Amino acid sequence: MKSALTFETIARCSTTKAKASLLTLPHGPVNTPVFMPVGTQGTLKGLTPRQLEDLNCQIMLNNTYHLGLKPGQETLDLVGGAHKFQKWNRNLLTDSGGFQMVSLLKLAKITEEGVQFASPHDGSLMMLTPEHSVALQNSIGADILMQLDDVISSLTTGPRVEEAMWRSIRWLDRCIAAHKNPDRQNLFAIIQGGLNKDLRRKCVEEMVKRDTPGYAVGGLSGGEEKDVFWQIVSLCTDLLPKTKPIYCMGVGYAEDLVVCVALGVDMFDCVYPTRTARFGNALTMNGILSLKSGKHANDFGPIEEGCDCPTCKNYTRSYVHLVATKDTVGCHLVSVHNVAFQLRLMRQMREAIIKDEFPAWIKRFFAGYFGDKTRYPVWAVNALKSVDVDLMA
């Protein structure tokens, strides 16, 4: 199918499957590997689009399901799309709304036609079909839109997993047929198949035939064993075309990002940085810092030494401790830092890949983030060993 993007690999790690690439989309360049902050209803919680731009974020997410309810398709059409609506001049990716099948399952009923949701606002019914999902995303004007897929919990077993995989393939065909703007919006397929490697292989085989501009690995990060998670990710990156971007949905913990980049993933998203900020948790290269802790009351240093985000340049741990979780200002300040941390983490990985120093960088990261090797997650050690990085050596 038509593509409105280019994807150029700049450098490959000579040890792992990691690569640094330039993804060029209608609203500008994106350096990969990239973390995409999630602005569910047109903004990240606690940040304005302008602040996100000031952090040099090149692409963010919006959510089709939520924007479809409020402000609604008619308003989006009147204003000329979500870029104008939220004053965001860089790239947007929209989630199709499929994930809400899992997160709002009490409100959802799934059939071959689509998913019927009860609005969390007023209880009114909304039918989200592949055609309606794509129409909404066409109205939003996202640079990358995701197919509607039949999303099930990653812990689901039995015939429902295969049913969801085949339905996702059929729904992809309906999305492709309904997509009105392939010359300026890129439709990505989503690989399903649960934790079953044979189903994942079959799904990749079928979806690659559709030749979409990029591919996502879906249906993970739902509580499955991490040793199974990384094997599914690695299988998919082995099978998918290396000439197109690969996006692992819902991944945001620092160690997960590092491992998945080593396994060959280019793109990630997660609400984690802003969600954990609301609990007073700051992300740093030396691990997670609980700013609610009284030990920070008289600490007049920044959240993280060497961080150049507006929070670290202007406020102390002592001040953020005072307002963390008690005031929206605290949530805002920690959110700014956490998003800046995620973007910096990705930049450092990209630079290390380009210099072909990524394995050494991974070892330094784990040593700084976890300290003692006995605290390294076993699954991460196993995953990295599969790409010839031995953390325990």
Higher pLDDT, 322 or 100: 322
Catalytic position from the list 143, 149, 150, 269: 269
Pure H helices in 108-196: 130-140, 159-178
Report the alpha-carbon distance of residue 351 to residue 326 in Å, rounded.
38
pLDDT band per the 50, 70, 90 thresholds, residue 109: confident
Whether the CA torsion 287, 288, 290, 291 is positive or negative: it is positive
Residue range 333-354, pLDDT digits in tens: 999 999 999 999 999 999 999 9
Place of tokens 């006995």: 374
Give 324-332's long-range contacts (Cβ < 8 A, gap of 24+): 324/280, 324/291, 324/292, 325/278, 325/279, 325/280, 325/292, 328/46, 330/280, 330/291, 331/45, 331/46, 331/277, 331/278, 332/46, 332/47
Distance CA 267, CA 34 (A): 5
> Do residues 93 and 64 make contact, with C-beta atoms less than 8 angstroms apart?
no
At 10, list the tokens: 């700049």
305 Cβ contact partners less than 8 Å away, ≥ 6 residues apart: none
C-beta of residue 18 within 8 angstroms of C-beta of residue 261: yes
**Beta-strand relationship, 59-63 and 91-95:** parallel
Active site residue 95: yes
DSSP state of 96: -
Catalytic entry in 95, 150, 256, 266: 95
Q: What is residue 352's DSSP assignment?
A: H
What's residue 1's pLDDT?
86
Among 40-54, 66-80, 211-225, whose mean pLDDT is lowest?
40-54
Helix (H, G, I), strand (E, B) or coil at 247: strand
Question: Strands 6-12, 19-25: parallel, antiparallel or unpaired by DSSP?
Answer: antiparallel
Side-chain half-sphere exposure of 281, counting CA atoms within 13 A: 11
In contact, 244 and 189? CB cutoff 8 Å: no
Confirm whether 256 is a catalytic residue: no
Q: What is the CA radius of gyration of the chain?
A: 21
Above 90 in pLDDT, residue 30? Answer: yes
Which has the minimum average pLDDT: 104-108, 115-119, 287-291, 321-325?
A: 104-108
Output 325 or 360, whichever has higher pLDDT.
360
Backbone angles phi, psi at 144, to 5 degrees: -125, 125
CA-based nearest residue to 146, from 53, 266, 202, 65: 65
DSSP state string for 279-330: TTEEEETTEEEETTSGGGTT--S-SSTT--SHHHHH--HHHHHHHTTTSHHH
> What is the model's pLDDT at position 362?
98
Residues 6+ apart with CB under 8 A from 101: 108, 110, 115, 150, 151, 152
- The pLDDT tens digits for 147-181 are 999 988 888 899 999 999 999 999 999 999 999 99
